[in-house]
Amino acid sequence: MAELQIIGAVASNFVWMCRIACAEKGVPYSLVPAMPHSPEVDAIHPLGKIPAMRHGDVTLCESRAICGYVDRAFPGPALMPADPVAAAQIEQWASIVCTAIDPVFLRQYFGAYVFPGTADNSPDRARIDAALPKMEPLFDMLDRAVPTGYLAGGAFTLADMCLMPILYYMAKAPESSAMLGKRGALKAYYDRHIARKSVREAAPPALPGHAARNIA
């Protein structure tokens, strides 16, 4: 049987999400390291983004499509419930994380530490300071969403797989770490799931030198 390949950079939160899904499902896979717009990625994703996936003759891009394929194509515990309301609630939260949380938390705020674009690679304080007022209400929203220990329903689902890599990075940077620490339900949620085997084993290695210095 053909091997499932997840193609992308280990530090990508969306690549990490797909790897968590494979682990939760019990699906063997190999990680093919590749950056956005590399030939391996461009051959599959029309916009050159990661992750991409190859499974024999099947190629896919976009993390939620890949996770959906993994869930339906392989035996093992379901990543999405059969009940239409429960499934829709999970999709609802996955969409909120992807469209509202990721752009502010990672692309704007954390990116200003890791990919600052400054002459000396120091943090881009203008981007950081512009993001902070947007982040507080989003942290509040997430804190209100997880009193049961999950984003949706009573089990670890695709919605949680989508959020956990983002929270991992938020726990690394100073302002976001403080915001996370002030939200008791969200902090308990993070501490619980960062110890989960599927999450922990797919965690990326240390940040590159300048990024580690920037958030020290």
Contacts of 82 (CB under 8 A, 6+ apart): none
**Residue 115 CB neighbours (<10 A):** 14
| CA–CA separation, 126 and 53 (whole Å) | 36
pLDDT at 153: 83
* Single-letter amino acid code for the residue at 41: V
| CA–CA separation, 69 and 102 (whole Å) | 22
pLDDT at 103: 98
Identify the band that residue 27 occupies on the pLDDT scale cut at 50, 70 and 90: very high
Per-residue pLDDT for 208 more than 70?
Answer: no
Ranges in the chain annotated CATH 3.40.30.10? 4-73
- Cis amide bond preceding 77, omega within 30: no
CATH number belonging to domain 4-73 = 3.40.30.10
Alpha helices in 52-101 (DSSP H): 63-73, 84-96
Given the DSSP bridges, would you call strands 29-32 and 52-55 parallel, antiparallel or unpaired?
A: unpaired
Ranges in the chain annotated CATH 1.20.1050.10? 84-214
Distance between start and end Cα atoms, the chain:
45
Considering only CA atoms, which of 68, 60, 63 is closest in space to residue 17? 63
Counting residues of the chain whose pLDDT is more than 70, the rounded percentage is 95
| CA–CA separation, 175 and 65 (whole Å) | 33
Query: Could you read off the pLDDT of 94-104 as tens digits, one per residue?
Result: 999 999 999 99
| Global confidence as pTM | 0.94
Residue range 14-31: mean pLDDT, rounded: 97
Lowest mean pLDDT among 35-44, 111-120, 140-149: 111-120
What fold does the segment set 84-214 form as a domain?
A: Glutathione S-transferase Yfyf (Class Pi); Chain A, domain 2 (1.20.1050)
